[in-house]
Chain A
């Protein structure tokens, strides 16, 4: 009898543990909305989301809380990082899955694991002392720029793209490959026309996930973005400084009060929604892959 009771207590504890994550997510949502919503209502959704001017501590006149340039900046640096990291990451994944001898594969796999482990603040620091002066000296501009952000984010995204794409490529049934070889195709032709297309949805999931991670990254971009809250002008000028949403929160949270602090929480709400939507799309892509695979 007592044993039965003990089992019930343990099961209850396990259930509470399991429910913790959901509870925390619910509380994050409640607290962000509670802190952030009033200011969005006050200035208006359009003025907040599409407003061009961020001037929370106005010396004269009304403060303004427009985060449109920051939303653009977040997507801009994330897409920039993908442009750099996807071709390289995909090539590495193909190499690991198809070409690398076992010894080389395990060395590179471990190197990639270590790269994931490097704290983002260290990558940001390397960007600050190495990349920013390099860009300033060789490409012009201030150095703190979209380009610097994209490169640092690409280095962070690279290992994730490699390992997820590697898994996706290795999950492609061997028969496909052998059938292609039997038809006389070269290894490269097989990779290009058979293997990569079959692993497509897994790779797409990896890319979208990398984009979500890049948009959510704070420290690395904070240290190299320049943090100017304006659209780059002209818009394609990748040497202009920007301020992504994450950097906005990190920069000002320490001294913000009142509406200003609420506007930072509201920035967090937008960031949260953007990242959650991208994550959901990525999960969808992975699920559809699983359907085909087995």
Chain B
């Protein structure tokens, strides 16, 4: 308490308040600085021929269209598989599951999967999807590996949204003679949709930015894919190769801007939906 005897409580209180304001400002500054730096260095590179062109000289010149298409395809495969399974799992956990050892195991599994490092999911995707199932380096391998990564997230947000729908609404539906599934499908799910939507959109953002999972599952081809079994190089992986192999800093800045713009727009959309519909029933 030496400090306490030297400085009056009022002064140390004031000093602490200044320090807390400063820390929050530093955190916001870091964010602004990173976003600003990437945008300023990269915005000049981005134009229509960059967005819609094909890369030449392994990406040192030309555009990034195949990488954008690749990212999109991987994301679609991942979400088309993760969303139904994730919502299904959430409905089961929130509404159907008898509180038992089984629920415990299922919840534990979801938590475990959420904790698996992305590079480990990549390794598993390589061993299981690429080699064991023989899908090769392809959209389907990369997309399914991404699905393993976003699934726990989808389950969690969906379960939370479903549980937030008030019990009284369910009871009203049951009282009218509806079955469990009718109640779920017609009454509970519609109420949970905004929350689930926000979660799914944030999941898309995660899937788009992810690199380690797709490094050795989706391949690194710079050609346009023509089927689900073609390899693609997603935009983040393209950025990694451009930067780490020193192919072209300019192109890397440009790719960063495109990737960042995609991810930020998606996140802003999620925030907007949350603002517009969110808290319909509140979280707790």
In the complex, what residue of chain A is closest to B213 when comparing beta carbons? A218
Task: Choose from B31, B96, B118, B179 the contact partner of A3 (Cβ within 8 Å).
Answer: B179
Cα–Cα, bound, A131→B271 (Å): 31
- Classify chain B's interface size: 35 or more
For A153, what are the chain B residues with a Cβ–Cβ distance below 8 Å? Answer: none
We find that the number of chain A residues with CB closer than 8 angstroms to chain B is: 88
For B256, what are the chain A residues with a Cβ–Cβ distance below 8 Å? Answer: 122, 125
The answer to whether B252 has its CB under 8 Å from any CB of chain A is yes
Most buried by B among A3, A7, A25, A91: A25
Most buried by A among B16, B27, B249, B259: B27
Tell whether, in the assembled complex, residue B120 and residue A272 are in contact, meaning their CB atoms are under 8 Å apart: yes
For A18, what are the chain B residues with a Cβ–Cβ distance below 8 Å? Answer: 88-89, 92-93, 97, 106
For B34, what are the chain A residues with a Cβ–Cβ distance below 8 Å? Answer: 118, 122-123, 126, 155
The answer to whether A15 has its CB under 8 Å from any CB of chain B is yes
The answer to whether B24 has its CB under 8 Å from any CB of chain A is yes
Tell whether, in the assembled complex, residue A130 and residue B37 are in contact, meaning their CB atoms are under 8 Å apart: yes
Task: Choose from B24, B112, B259, B263 the contact partner of A92 (Cβ within 8 Å).
Answer: B24
- Least CB distance from B15 to A in Å reads 8
Interface of B is mostly: helix
Task: Choose from B35, B110, B132, B259 the contact partner of A119 (Cβ within 8 Å).
Answer: B259
The answer to whether A45 has its CB under 8 Å from any CB of chain B is no
For A7, what are the chain B residues with a Cβ–Cβ distance below 8 Å? Answer: 179-181
Q: Which of B14-40 contact A (CB under 8 A)?
A: 16-17, 19-21, 23-24, 26-28, 30-31, 34-35, 37-38
- Between A and B, 27 residue pairs with Cβ closer than 8 Å are A10-B181, A11-B96, A14-B89, A14-B92, A17-B87, A17-B89, A20-B151, A21-B113, A22-B109, A22-B112, A31-B132, A96-B24, A118-B263, A119-B259, A122-B34, A122-B239, A122-B256, A125-B239, A125-B240, A128-B244, A188-B16, A250-B215, A253-B123, A254-B215, A264-B123, A268-B120, A276-B115
